[in-house]
Structures are given as C-alpha cells and as structure tokens.
Structure 1
C-alpha cells in the first residue's frame, strides 16, 4: 500500500502520524488533569475547608470567649471591651459553624453535631448569664473557684466534642 504512494505523501503520512498520536496524548493528559483538579476541589470542599471552619468555630468559642472572660475578671480590660470581644467571637464562631453545617456531612458527623448543639446551647446560656452579671461588677466579684468550675464544666464538653469532630473530619 505504501509503495503506491508518492514520496511526498509518504513523508506527509510519516509526519502526521506522530502529530496525531501527540494530540491524542495531550488530550488524554488534559482530561486526566481536569479530573485530578475536580478531585482536589472535592477534597478541599468536603474535607479541608470544613476542618478549617471547625477550627475557627472552636477558637471563637472555646478559646476567645474563655480568654476574654478571664481577662475581664483580671481587669486586663473593661466591660465595653469584654462585650465587644464576646460579640465578635460569637459572630465569627456562628458564621464558621453555619458554613460547616452547609457542607456534605457524614452520618457520624451528624451524630456528633447533635451532641455539639446541646453543648453549644449550654455555653451560650452561660455566656448570656455571665454578661448579665456585668452590671455592678458582679461578674468580677464571683468566687474564682466556683467561676472557673462552672466555666470549664460548661465549655469542656463542647471543646471535647469539637476535638472529636475535627479529628473525624480530618481523617
């Protein structure tokens, strides 16, 4: 068959064959790169970003709020600053929590979330009650051992559940 072709046609055929193979290989590589990119986006959206959102939520509630209450009681800052810190922490935490809940969640995550919701409600009730004690310096006057016991007895279950959820989500 090739013997019937002119030399010019043979050269064109020999040049086109590798080009066609090259175009096919490039097309397959681009397709694989696109699938890899989609897989990475899914991994980021479904695993990495939720862990980051949980970290922001945990830091806002279990770190910033507790730290702010202690700083107020130690007179590092005043009532206005405490109210500002608590409001900012709650807003930051609630936004991160809402964003986390909007992700695709597993059955195990949903079970943990139900427990966290109960713990979070207790934390929010305690914070509201403590803010109510700001007037007249009653919050600063609370006995330290009783204050710390109530604070950590309320916040620790939330922190422990969040730690478990973060560990599960990162796995």
Structure 2
C-alpha cells in the first residue's frame, strides 16, 4: 500500500464514495417505484370503487326512493319517475359489476356475498313499483312507499356504508405501509452514507506518516536557478556588486536580507 501512487489512493476513496451514492440512488428509485405502485393501487382499487359505491348508494336513495316519494306527492309525473327508476336499475347493475372487477380484499368479498342477495331481492318489488307507475295507481304507490320501500332499501344502504368504510380503512393501511417503507429506506440510506464516510476516514488515517513527506518534492534541494525567478537571478549579482548586503531567496520567493 505504501508503494501505491497518489492517484491509486484517490481512486479508491472516490470509488468507495461513488458506490455509496449509487446505493443510495438505487434505494431512492426503488422507493419511488414502490410509492407509485401503491398510489396506483389506492386510486384504482380504493378511490374509484369509493366513487362507484357512492354512486350506487345515491341511485338507490335519490333515483329510486326519492323519485317514488315525489311521484306519490305529485312533484314528478308517473312517467318521469318511471324513467328515473328504470335508468337507475341499469346504472346500478353496470356500476356494481365494474366495482366487483377491481382487486378485492377479504372484507370486501365478505360484504359482497351479503349484498348480492339483498340486491337480487329488490328486483321483484321494483318491477311491481314500475307496474304501479305504469297503471297510474296512486293507492298502490302510497301503500308501496309506506310498507315496502324503506324495509327494502335500508339494509342495502347499511351494507354499502360498510363497504365505503372498508375502502377508507384499506387506503389508510396502504399509507401506513408506505410510511414504514419510507422510514426503512431512509435509515438504510443514512447507514450506507455513514459507512462510506467512516470507511473513507479510516482509509485516510491508515496512510503512513512519511507518505506525504516522501511524496512532496524537497524544494530546498533544488538549485538556486530552479528555486528563483529569472528576475531574482538577474538582480542578485548586481546588488552584490554595489556593496549591498547579499540577498538570499527561499522557495516562497520572498527575498530576505542575509
């Protein structure tokens, strides 16, 4: 090691630091990739389903329940309510199938197994409601609104509320997992930088004391012509010829009276 050149030692130190930086950069890229994937999962499997579940809940509550009450109260015509309820059924089926095509967790699968029978149980009464509206049967519409409407849709609303809560909890779990991964990556990066710094310091301290002295040129052993500038070489003999005190120059190029 003592026989190595300065360039070799500097190359080793620079390589060690660069390797540490490359490791830190690689960990940073992996962390960013993991964060992007997690955000993609949260958006596609949590945010979009949350929107779909709210849409289904609103279709039941507004387009079916509210339209039924407004048809009974005379705010909507029977034709308007009929159109709204029929359109709501189609949109509910499409949105529900889109939601079930996302990546589901165990809690969602359990709730879906409970919701599917409840949704199937609404189809028969809704067909009866559509028949009542087509026949313009006010008495039958009032009886349906009082006796069947809320017992039919309240259990569904409760289950959809549970599904929405599951989306929020799962999004929170994803956030906590990303926070834990970020903390672990940060500690690992700091550890790598610390180890690289300590390794560089230890390597530098292992140099022999004579390395710097032996590597540096001995300026005092150079001839005068090599240690002085051309102007100093020209001035020195002339000053001595005029009975001036001799002049000696040191390698710092500052002239001192002898």
Q: Same fold (TM over 0.5)?
A: yes
> Separation in 2 of the partners of 1:154 and 1:86?
15
> Larger Cα Rg: Structure 1 or Structure 2?
2
CA contact (8 A) 2:129 2:141 kept: no
Aligned to 1:82: 81
Structure 1 residues 92, 146: closer, same or farther in 2, change over 3 A? closer
* Structure holding more helix per residue: 1
Structure 1 residues 113, 78: closer, same or farther in 2, change over 3 A? same
> Separation in 1 of the partners of 2:165 and 2:155?
15
Aligned to 2:43: 44
5 Å-filtered alignment, 1:61-140, equals: 61-138=60-137, 140=138
Q: How much has 1:63 moved relative to structure 2?
A: 3.1
Q: How much has 1:20 moved relative to structure 2?
A: 5.7
> Separation in 2 of the partners of 1:165 and 1:24?
42
Aligned to 1:28: 27
Structure 1 residues 25, 95: closer, same or farther in 2, change over 3 A? same
CA contact (8 A) 1:56 1:92 kept: no
> Separation in 1 of the partners of 2:143 and 2:113?
30
Aligned to 2:230: none
Structure 1 residues 89, 136: closer, same or farther in 2, change over 3 A? closer
Structure 1 residues 21, 2: closer, same or farther in 2, change over 3 A? farther
User: Pairwise CA RMSD of aligned residues?
Assistant: 2.7
CA contact (8 A) 2:82 2:134 kept: no
CA contact (8 A) 2:132 2:141 kept: no
Q: How much has 1:19 moved relative to structure 2?
A: 5.6
> Separation in 1 of the partners of 2:70 and 2:144?
17
> Separation in 1 of the partners of 2:34 and 2:82?
48
- Is 1:165 the counterpart of 2:163? The answer is yes
Q: How much has 1:24 moved relative to structure 2?
A: 4.3
CA contact (8 A) 2:79 2:133 kept: no
Alignment counterpart, residue 154 of structure 2, candidates 149, 153, 156: 156
- Structure 2: state its 5+ residue gaps: 170-258
- Structure 1: state its 5+ residue gaps: none
> Separation in 1 of the partners of 2:40 and 2:6?
52
Q: How much has 1:66 moved relative to structure 2?
A: 0.6
Structure 1 residues 15, 112: closer, same or farther in 2, change over 3 A? closer
> Separation in 2 of the partners of 1:105 and 1:35?
20
Structure of higher RCO (CA pairs closer than 8 Å, 6+ residues apart): 1
CA contact (8 A) 1:58 1:162 kept: yes
